[in-house]
A and B are shown apart, each in its own frame.
Chain A
Amino acid sequence: MPLPLPRLRTVVLVAGAALLTKRALRRRIRSSPLWPLPALEEPVSGHAERRTTATRRLLITERTTPAEGVVQLRLKGSGLPAWQPGAHLDLLLPSGLVRQYSLCGDPADPDTYTIATRLVEDGRGGSREVHERLREGEEVEIRDPRNRFPLAEAPAYLFVAGGIGITPILPMLRSVAASGADWRLLYGGRSRASMPFLDEIEKLDAEGGRVTVVAEDEAGHPDAAAALAATAPGTAVHCCGPEPLMDAVRAALPPGRTLHLERFTAAAASSAGSAPFEVELRRLGRTVQVPADRSVLAAVRDELPYVSYSCEQGFCGTCRQRVLEGEIDHRDELLTDSERDDSMLICVSRCRGERLVLDL
């Protein structure tokens, strides 16, 4: 039986409707690629602030010795990501070691990062490798700068630097000096010959009186307490240097001043090698002891065998847990600053005090 032919009017109507639908769809898909799905209000993919897996190869164009035992490297790329004073980058050394170094060059130069490192004789080999193996004309791999030590907004500044701790402070000094703000610097080191950037710092202090340089072989340790006592309320104190210096500054901080510390955290994640502490698992209602030679993860697993984890080296992030109380000693290389406020990777990170409370 022959099929009845549709009437012309029906054909025109159907074809027209199809065309309109196609155009409407195309318009929607153009503005919303997965229409009809909505979008997440704050996109996650492609906008992460965690440590990136992406690296960059830069050319070492200059290797100088600004002070005894200190090597400064100028690393050249093109169109490098911008950075602010206080930022550091990860240097991926040829041996596989990863070390963090503060940027001490000019933030306005889009093609160069400058870092300076001091040779640590009894260190873990990172600075030795920089000093012995990195040469002009070679390429080196880095991860883009991040800033854990930004320059605070304040009416007045006190900077306290110990030795190579001057590196993140130096771009801050330039920025603050250029803005005309009130600033002081207390800069301690072993000897004048071993303290980098003295010439430039003295130039920044052209009218004099802002900078106090204390070399240990001439005048002993810098008097942080006196410098802090001389600050006006509202002063932002930025400090970078060895742990005893930062402790001294923390202890002597008068009320009304804000304190900003740069810690040279262990870049190489290792869970062991510190004091024991205890961890309360709040939801379980149990407390476990974490000895110096065990990780939080290992201790928690005794109570909660199903807790998730994987790499055990602080890079995959699957063991991240919420922390309700206690001061965290972050030893991972992954989490963002805001994630660090209330969570930790229990495979490598530890406790600065005696007790942590986990949301487990």
Chain B
Amino acid sequence: MSNTQPAPVTSERTPLRARKVSFAWEKTPLHWVPGDPFTTHTINVLHLLLPAGERWFIHVYRQVLPYIHDEQLRQDVIGFIGQEAVHSQAHDDVLPRLRELGLDPTPYTAQVDWFFEKLLGDRTLPPGRARTWWLMERVALISAIEHYTAFLGDWVLNADALDRRGADPMMLDLLRWHGAEEVEHRSVAFEVFMHVDGGYRRRARTWATAFSTLVFLWQRGIRFFMENDPSLLNGKGSVKEFYLGGKRGTLPATGDLLRSVPRYLSRGYHPSQEGSTAQAIDYLAHSPAATAAEARMTGTS
């Protein structure tokens, strides 16, 4: 055991609660980053993965609640699952719009649904060690995935290139509201994992699984969208395009991404060391969706 301990930055902690957002999609065009189908579809993969993925997070966390014996962490988890639930709903509600635009995502999402609900589901396991092992494995996977979502959330809050290129404001607000909440709650999944298990071998194993799975799902997702985009003949994606998108700032820079990924394995890693809660809260204070949600909460009698 190394004597380096995860060091949380306490000033980054904030109380978590779900916001009752809504978005109007009828004006969002197919290529919501104008003239850039590759960027559009690379980011669109989020809408394919998150509805099923975040439903699965909640499914797992409902089971892990009894293992949490720290009142503050339990409050964080309760806020976390509400935020994740609304994220899942909000991305899910983009899918009918894609269908309207001639890009039916169902062939892909039905497989992602199977992936999260069956392959990563509860399975028929005897109560006791096997069942606990599988629960802990999934808790660790979520912690690793949240490392990447926090990275993406921080990136999108700072992706000014998307504004400069005239990206659809409604879609940007969805991504940034979501990104900001990911930054807000970026420590929760890691702290849950450290609280209920925290084993380094499990952390490393699930980090590798999560990363390679995400690469697989993303690559296939981009390919699916590019091939089925009704406005593209012979649409294709490539690593080179991804790299160039990173250079332009419309996608995460490949270098940043590669540097960020292994930081999760550092013994002193704590998610609060990366990203800025203040920036996230500032965005949420101005986000059209989040401010309307606020009005709705105070408006209900």
Contacts and interface: CB of A to CB of B under 8 A. Distances in A.
B86 A315 contact: yes
A359 to B, nearest CB: 14
- Give the secondary structure class of B's interface: helix
Given A37-B111, A39-B111, A315-B86, A30 B227 contact: yes
A30 B300 CA distance: 48
A44 interface: yes
Interface string B71-90: 00000001101110110011
Contact of A95 (B18, B119, B299): B299
A77 B26 contact: yes
Given A34-B115, A313-B297, A39 B62 contact: no
Contact of B82 (A125, A268, A307, A311): A311
B96 A54 contact: yes
A65 interface: no
Interface stretch (B99-107, B148-156, B192-200, B265-273): B99-107
Interface residues of B, number: 62
Contacts of A44: 51-52, 55, 113, 117
A306 B71 CA distance: 11
Contacts of A77: 26
B296 interface: yes
Given A38-B114, A310-B82, A96 B292 contact: yes
A141 B24 contact: yes
B21 interface: yes
A32 B110 CA distance: 10
A96 B19 CA distance: 13
A268 B90 CA distance: 20
A92 B86 CA distance: 18
A174 interface: no
A39 B96 contact: no
Interface in B24-48: 24-26, 48
B68 to A, nearest CB: 8
A37 B49 CA distance: 14
A36 B217 CA distance: 12
Nearest to B82: A310
A311 B20 CA distance: 9
Given A269-B300, A316-B81, 6 more contacts: A45-B52, A45-B95, A46-B105, A98-B296, A141-B22, A310-B17
Interface of B: 17-18, 20-26, 48, 51-52, 55, 58, 61-62, 65-66, 78-79, 81-83, 85-86, 89-90, 92-97, 99, 105-115, 117-119, 217, 220-221, 223-224, 227, 292, 295-301
